[in-house]
Amino acid sequence: FLCAAPPGDGTVPSHRTHVNALPLILLEILANMTLYQALNAIMVNSIGVTKRRAFLTGPQKCWDATVTAVQTARREFVRTTQSVGIQSLQPLANSDRLEGLTQTVILANILVMLLQSSDSPPAEIAVLDTLNEIFVVFYCMEQGLK
């Protein structure tokens, strides 16, 4: 709403005030959708797995079977021709710590890219370019490890 009051009234601001309800409405819709999804997940998870499969359509059952088969094959797949060194690096390559470090480096790289501009001082540009090169080397090592 818009309101204007004569200066010195004391009850209403003397300047124009604009209140927009659209963000509040969108926030309420988002909250309701989130609550609906949470309740839906609780209800679905309360149903047993065998009963849940009864609600699936034919294509969904096929997709579920395919996903299960791929996950099983991935777990059971072992390369016997790998050297001992590669086998010892696999736990590191698949570790959550490396994933967390990689995500942190990605966020740092994003920040460095946001800081880069053509009107920056030459010393700052040199530092940011060096950091970019370090990030590229890290990504190459991470991909080589995986």
Q: pLDDT (tens digit, 0 to 9) for every residue of the chain, 146 residues total?
A: 444 555 555 565 555 555 567 777 778 888 888 888 887 777 766 666 666 666 677 787 888 888 888 888 777 766 556 677 777 778 887 888 888 898 999 999 999 888 888 788 889 889 999 999 999 999 988 888 77
Query: Is this prediction's pTM over 0.75?
Result: no
Distance of CA 42 to the CA centre of its chain: 23
CA distance 72 to 70: 5
Q: How far apart are CA 48 and CA 50, in angstroms?
A: 6
Residue 106: strand, helix, or coil: helix
At 25 the pLDDT is 78
User: Tokens 């010393």 — which residue?
Assistant: 123
Residue 18 parent element (H or E): strand 17-18
Residue 96 CB neighbour total at 10 angstroms: 7
* Backbone phi and psi for residue 17, each to the nearest 5 degrees, phi listed first: -120, 135
pLDDT of residue 1: 44
Q: Dihedral of CA 20/21/23/24: which sign?
A: positive
The string of DSSP codes covering 50-91 is HHHHHTS-HHHHHHHHHHHHHHHHHHH---TT--HHHHHHHH
